[in-house]
Amino acid sequence: MMMIDTADLTKTYEGRGGCRGVTLQVPEGCIFGLLGPNGAGKSTFVKMLAGLHRPDSGQAVMLGQPLGQPEARRKLGYLPELFRFQEWLTPTEVLRFHGQLGGLRPRDTRSPAFRSRVRDTLELVGLADAADRRVGGFSKGMQQRLGLAAALLLDPELVILDEPASALDPVGRHEIRNLLKRLRANGVTVFLNTHLLEDVEALCDQAAFLYGGELLASGPLRELLGGAGDGGVNWRFKVGGWLPDTLAALGEAAGEPLVSPLRLVETDANGNAVLSARVSDREQAGYLCALFIRSGLTLYESGPESNSLEDWFIRMAASRQGGDLQ
């Protein structure tokens, strides 16, 4: 089942900004990362899901219900990007208040079962020792943990977290990563809006990239990063002695089929060229190196293309800015 399923979802601010025509599917039980540069429309998209913005047009189903249904909202945990808690409350009181916002009667939030739920949730986010301290004295990281506790309090099936770790130190981020993995293991779907690419790399099964309000890519992270499921590797070569007809000559000379044809990435006036090919393994890359040398080229460099998420992010953004993608 899809936990989030949107079709052409659009929300602008008097015709500007926001996000437009976003069609996105988030499968149940995964950790999904929404990526994009500042102002890409990520928070606008998330706010529509959380019911804080009404879409201008398009459709969305979340937790099996059209957007805005109270029944679906009850199964949703949401951590907004910018939030402030009442400074005079303690975490225990904040969570009791959130329990009531989530539909519990005041009487129920004083029950032993709910108190124990509050204690467990604060323990989960590492705030057990601060349960009865005033929030006014909390660091940003502690406030973020409390926001996470509020999102997790009522056992959601789907949690949407807008920048959940931005204020946390490295130890805190490590703890939250582990917590999100535990949630996934328990069947909870996590939708993460974040700039922390290493978190996405470490956690996410799937991701999507928004740019200028439009969705440019979405799918399993491994496929997005270049592993198209064909077992191939993108390989890059730098050679010298390049002539205009060299590519055609190499094509004729190559006996072994490549996963994708050899591509000329760039040349310069001195006869240097950068080539790229998708090869099945390093032996096939070695075969190409031998072919270049046999064809009279000088081989300067050969190696797998970097496919880190940061490279991918920069390539995606550059593709829209009309920049150099190499």
Ligand X SMILES: Nc1ncnc2c1ncn2[C@@H]1O[C@H](COP(=O)(O)OP(=O)(O)OP(=O)(O)O)[C@@H](O)[C@H]1O
Q: List interacting residues with ligand X (CB under 6 A).
A: 13, 17-18, 36, 38-44
Enclosing H/E stretch for 285:
helix 282-294
**Separation between Cα atoms, residue 269 and residue 198, nearest integer Å:** 39
Whose Cβ is closer to ligand X: residue 38's or residue 186's? 38
Angle between helices 140-152 and 91-101 (to 10 degrees): 40
Burial class (CB in 10 A: 0-12, 13-18, 19+), 116: exposed
Residue type, 225: L
Phi and psi for 37 in degrees, rounded to 5?
-70, 175
| Minimum CB distance to ligand X, residue 38 (Å) | 3
Query: Whole-angstrom Cα distance, residue 200 to residue 177?
Result: 10
Six-digit token pair at 184? 């996934």
**Smaller CB separation from ligand X, 21 or 39:** 39
Quickly list H helices, 153-260.
170-185, 197-203, 221-224, 246-253
Are 103 and 54 contacting, i.e. CB atoms less than 8 angstroms apart? no
Q: Tokens in use for 52?
A: 């804080």
237 strand-pairing partners: 275, 302
